[in-house]
Amino acid sequence: MTDIVSASLRSRMMAGIKGRDTAPEWIVRRYLHAAGLRFRIHMRTLPGTPDLVFPRHRAVILVHGCFWHRHIGCRFATFPGTRTEFWRTKFDRNAERDRHNEAALRSAGWTVITAWECEVRSEEFLDQLFWRVVASGLS
């Protein structure tokens, strides 16, 4: 299938996609802060610069976009119809980097929690996320 927008417009659209302070990340931040949890954001001293870091609980939350991080079975994890080899390589590198960062965090003693873009829309999920962070600090 061909693209419905020009190459220059597509390039501008893709350049506008942010890597931090995304809408799903803000949803998680607002909910957990309102629930009383305090955290640091984007700690560059940790592998992969996690989105939210809870030093008191030794937990991190990685807020992943379903498209970029390939959420298995998610309707938002579509695959572009053009330049498939380029996209396959890019997505494979993203997944490998995610696995490497998660393993490095776990080996350093952190509890790693992944929140997917499609999940953060549910208040029930956010409540479970709160309790997972709190429980990680009890052990």
CATH number at residue 29: 3.40.960.10
- Domains identified in the chain, total number: 1
Query: Is 11 a domain residue?
Result: no
Residue 11 has a pLDDT of 74
CA pair distance 50, 63, nearest whole angstrom:
8
- The pLDDT assigned to 105 comes to 97
CB burial of 86-108 (b: ≥16 within 10 Å; e: otherwise) equals eeeeebeeeeeebeebbeebeee
Which run of H or E residues covers position 67? helix 66-69
In this prediction the pTM is 0.85
pLDDT of residue 2: 63
Residue 14 belongs to a domain: no
**Domain-embedded: residue 121:** yes
Is 51 inside any structural domain?
yes
Whether 6 is in a domain gets the answer no
Question: Is residue 5, in this structure, part of any structural domain at all?
Answer: no
Note the pLDDT tens digit of each residue in 103-116: 999 999 999 999 99
What confidence score (pLDDT) does residue 112 get? 97
Which H or E run includes 97?
A: helix 84-107
pLDDT averaged over consecutive 10-residue blocks of the chain (139 residues)?
A: 73 72 92 96 94 96 92 89 89 95 97 96 96 86
Give the domain range for residue 56: 19-136
Token pair recorded at residue 55 = 């030093």
| DSSP labels, 70-89 | T-TT-TT----SSSHHHHHH
C-beta of residue 58 within 8 angstroms of C-beta of residue 109: yes
